[in-house]
Amino acid sequence: MPDILEDADRLCAKTGARLTPLRRRVLELVARANAPVKAYDLLSQIDRTNTSAKPPTVYRALDFLIDAGLVHRVEALNAFVACPQAGHGHAAMLYVCENCANVTEVQGARPGQDHKPDGFTVKRSVIEHYGLCANCL
């Protein structure tokens, strides 16, 4: 399996984004968890190596990673997951198991097709679109 960190290095090299050690460390922590991670959990993990880490430290790193397309925010959980396909167009659907917390990311929501992972049983869906209404366009 292609390493998420190497992909991130490549992607950032291409786009000019600066994947600093701190940001890379946060990405590593998010990617290593195979479940959505909370910001303050990341913070306490960073703290083990860098006592100066404070909330803005981790939120800024996460903002960078999200902008770079390396991490997604899971809105209904206030948590974060690493994107398995860094740099894709980014209309991603997440399938989150409420038992084991595993997240499957599906891309390219083509109308009509159902991209639901095999065997996944959906209990609740969050579907929110943000943009401009006809009046405000």
Partner DNA sequence: TTTTGGTATGTAATAACATAACATGTTTTG
Partner DNA sequence: CAAAACATGTTATGTTATTACATACCAAAA
Select the binding partner of residue 120 from DNA, a second copy, Zn ion, none (C-beta < 5 to 8 A, by kind): a second copy
| Interface positions, 52-111, toward a second copy (CB under 8 A) | 74-76, 91-100, 102, 104, 109, 111
- Quick one: residue 31, left, alpha or beta (phi over 0 = left, psi -120 to 50 = alpha)? alpha
Residue 49 binds a second copy, judged by CB under 8 A:
no
| Interface positions, 64-93, toward Zn ion (CB under 5 A) | 83, 92
Task: Give CA–CA dist 13/17, Å, rounded.
Answer: 7
Select the binding partner of residue 47 from DNA, Zn ion, a second copy, none (C-beta < 5 to 8 A, by kind): none
Phi and psi torsions of 70, nearest 5°: -100, -20
Select the binding partner of residue 50 from DNA, a second copy, Zn ion, none (C-beta < 5 to 8 A, by kind): DNA
Phi and psi torsions of 46, nearest 5°: -60, -40
Task: Give CA–CA dist 64/30, Å, rounded.
Answer: 13
> Who contacts 78 (Cβ-Cβ below 8 Å, separation ≥6)?
38, 39
The sign one gets for the Cα dihedral 31, 44, 22, 68 is positive
Residues that bind DNA (CB under 7 A): 17-18, 20-23, 38-40, 50-57, 59-61, 64, 78
Nearer to Zn ion, 54 or 88 (CB): 88
Nearer to a second copy, 1 or 136 (CB): 136
Residues contributing to the site for a second copy (CB under 8 A): 74-76, 91-100, 102, 104, 109, 111-114, 116-137
